[in-house]
């Protein structure tokens, strides 16, 4: 079976409107919250990808009624703490760190043992970051090396915690928020800034949450054990998936793209701010607020003169999933771009910092790395002529997609392995590329 793709020519100038699949973070959060709400919830435009489908299959294993129709996904929830399952049920989170960490928080007071496992990539990721706070709640967790598989037994006697989340991880924050939701009393969470979809949903569902925002951190207070009602949700397009098409346009000549109905929650739009600083023409139109989230149509045009950027590390959490593609854009910018404190990038589906460094070196871009800081010496004339093979990237979906954009905009003959990796977040990626004229074999 062919598991790689070949790209041997740049994409020709285009002017297109495309649809981007539903947001992964919101799809998973909707499913988890709907499973704990009372009544029937529906999600429209839920992302149809392995990460989300594994979440839905897992919820079914926990006794939740889930049905996928052509136009919507329906979950019939029975309320908080109503998962029904056999002792030692195995939940497979596949490639999804988000689902794994959030379901573990939601199971904080399960009466039976649950085993959570994942694929090779997820089994290499750090779970100490959630084991520590969950232990403080009183959850019993057994694991080898603080990694998956994890055996969890919840407790009926959870105690609320006072915790400082220092990594700026929305997955850790949300795991704690979900455990707090299942705990009597008030949990107080101080956390470094990260995407705030969970807070927005809690507020929309009128759960007892208080949020105090400071410059570098937030304080979140949650009172648990409050039931809430089912809710419908229309999932907007995912800005992280959109970012590959934004980059494709920026790096192509005389091209334009319109991406409709994309989530532009400000905790996710660091890429738009960085690109504006680099002189990319981006316009947001038809902005609306929907159930605590913002969405808009994004218009982007190709850019002749890209200016290097100094990315403050305060921005990192607002563009964490877009860093790979931003690095590629910086490779074509005039001047030296600086990125600092990129440690969290090493904890993704692969060590993305290491992979980015090797990738940029492979295409002849000068870089300097010092611990977790990166300098990219951009070259506006970068034009590739040789053959390149991209492999051994831990099947990281975002590495695969970034490589395709490099191949379609910089030239050369490319073989990119593990095309199935896109199934984690954006199965329609290659079909969408072809729709705008990319020659991908």
Using CA atoms, how far apart are residues 324 and 403, in angstroms rounded to an integer? 10
Residue 96 CB, shortest distance to ligand S3P, in Å, is: 9
- Residue least distant from ligand S3P (Cβ): 25
Residue 106 touches ligand S3P, criterion: CB under 6 A: no
CB closer to ligand S3P, 50 vs 321: 321
Which of 23, 51, 119, 321 does the annotation list as catalytic? Answer: 321
The sign of the dihedral angle between the CA atoms of 3, 6, 10, 16 is: negative
Residue 326 CB, shortest distance to ligand S3P, in Å, is: 14
Site for ligand S3P in 357-396 (CB under 6 A): none
Q: Using the rule CB under 6 A, which residue among 89, 169, 294, 350 binds ligand S3P?
A: 169
Residue 352 CB, shortest distance to ligand S3P, in Å, is: 10
Q: Using the rule CB under 6 A, which residue among 11, 20, 25, 189 binds ligand S3P?
A: 25
Q: Using the rule CB under 6 A, which residue among 92, 171, 265, 350 binds ligand S3P?
A: 171
CB closer to ligand S3P, 272 vs 306: 272
Q: Which residues of 423-438 are buried (b: 16+ CB within 10 A; e: fewer)?
A: bbbbbbbbebbeebeb
Residue 377 CB, shortest distance to ligand S3P, in Å, is: 27
CB distance 225 to 182 below 8 Å: yes
Using CA atoms, how far apart are residues 289 and 273, in angstroms rounded to an integer? 19
Q: In the annotation, is 396 catalytic?
A: no
| CB-based contacts of 424, cutoff 8 Å, min separation 6 | 49, 50, 51, 94, 95, 96, 349, 397
Q: Using the rule CB under 6 A, which residue among 7, 170, 180, 309 binds ligand S3P?
A: 170
CB closer to ligand S3P, 237 vs 378: 237
Residue 131 CB, shortest distance to ligand S3P, in Å, is: 14
Q: How many CB atoms lie within 10 A of CB 10?
A: 19
| CB-based contacts of 358, cutoff 8 Å, min separation 6 | none
Residue 25 CB, shortest distance to ligand S3P, in Å, is: 3
Q: x/- site string to ligand S3P, residues 52 to 91, per CB under 6 A?
A: ----------------------------------------
- Please count the residues of this chain forming the interface with ligand S3P, following the rule CB under 6 A: 11
Candidates 33-41, 55-63, 164-172, 245-253; binding stretch for ligand S3P (CB under 6 A): 164-172
CB closer to ligand S3P, 172 vs 363: 172
Using CA atoms, how far apart are residues 331 and 279, in angstroms rounded to an integer? 15
Candidates 69-77, 169-177, 278-286, 411-419; binding stretch for ligand S3P (CB under 6 A): 169-177
CB distance 223 to 35 below 8 Å: no
Q: Using the rule CB under 6 A, which residue among 194, 243, 255, 269 binds ligand S3P?
A: 194
Using CA atoms, how far apart are residues 388 and 410, in angstroms rounded to an integer? 12
Q: x/- site string to ligand S3P, residues 315 to 344, per CB under 6 A?
A: -----xx----------------------x
CB closer to ligand S3P, 333 vs 342: 342
Residue 241 touches ligand S3P, criterion: CB under 6 A: no
Residue 223 CB, shortest distance to ligand S3P, in Å, is: 22
CB closer to ligand S3P, 171 vs 403: 171
CB closer to ligand S3P, 174 vs 418: 174
CB closer to ligand S3P, 42 vs 352: 352
Residue 59 CB, shortest distance to ligand S3P, in Å, is: 16
CB closer to ligand S3P, 141 vs 382: 141
Q: Which residues bind ligand S3P (CB under 6 A)?
A: 25, 98, 169-171, 174, 194-195, 320-321, 344
Q: Which residues are catalytic?
A: 321
């Amino acid at each position: 079976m062919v598991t790689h793709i070949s790209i041997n020519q740049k994409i020709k100038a285009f002017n297109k409107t495309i649809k981007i699949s539903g947001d992964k973070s919101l799809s998973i959060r909707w499913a988890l919250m709907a499973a704990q709400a009372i009544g029937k919830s529906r999600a429209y435009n839920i992302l149809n990808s392995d990460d989300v489908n594994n979440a839905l299959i897992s919820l079914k294993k926990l006794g939740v009624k889930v049905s996928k129709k052509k136009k919507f996904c329906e979950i019939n929830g029975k309320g908080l703490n109503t998962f029904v399952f056999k002792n030692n049920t195995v939940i497979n989170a596949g490639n999804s760190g988000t689902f794994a960490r959030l379901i573990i928080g939601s199971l904080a007071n399960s009466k039976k043992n649950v085993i959570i496992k994942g694929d090779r990539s997820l089994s290499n990721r750090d779970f100490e970051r959630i084991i520590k706070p969950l232990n403080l709640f009183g959850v019993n967790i057994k694991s080898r090396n603080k990694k998956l598989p994890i055996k969890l037994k919840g407790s009926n006697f959870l105690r609320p915690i006072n915790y400082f989340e220092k990594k700026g991880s929305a997955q850790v924050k949300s795991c704690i928020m979900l455990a707090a939701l299942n705990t009597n009393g008030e949990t107080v969470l101080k956390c470094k800034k990260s995407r705030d979809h969970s807070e927005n949903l809690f507020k929309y569902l009128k759960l007892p949450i208080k949020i105090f925002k400071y410059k570098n951190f937030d304080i979140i207070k949650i009172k648990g054990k409050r039931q809430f009602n089912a809710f419908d949700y229309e999932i907007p397009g995912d800005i992280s998936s959109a970012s590959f098409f934004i980059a494709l346009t920026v790096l192509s000549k005389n091209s334009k793209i319109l991406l409709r109905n994309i989530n532009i929650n400000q905790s996710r739009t660091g890429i738009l701010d960085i690109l504006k600083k680099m002189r990319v023409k981006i316009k947001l139109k038809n902005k609306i607020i929907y159930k605590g989230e913002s969405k808009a149509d994004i218009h982007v045009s190709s850019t002749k003169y890209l200016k290097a950027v100094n990315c403050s590390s305060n921005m990192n959490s607002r563009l964490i999933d877009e860093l790979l593609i931003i690095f590629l854009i910086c490779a074509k910018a005039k001047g030296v771009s600086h990125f600092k404190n990129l440690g969290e990038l090493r904890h993704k589906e692969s060590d993305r910092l290491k992979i980015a460094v090797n990738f940029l070196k492979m295409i002849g871009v000068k870089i300097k790395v010092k611990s977790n800081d990166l300098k990219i010496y951009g070259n506006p004339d970068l034009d590739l002529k040789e053959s390149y093979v991209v492999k051994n990237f831990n099947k990281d979906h975002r590495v695969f997609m970034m490589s395709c954009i490099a191949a379609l905009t910089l030239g050369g003959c490319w073989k990119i392995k593990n095309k199935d990796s896109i199934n984690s977040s954006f199965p329609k990626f290659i079909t969408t590329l072809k729709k705008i004229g990319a020659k991908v074999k």
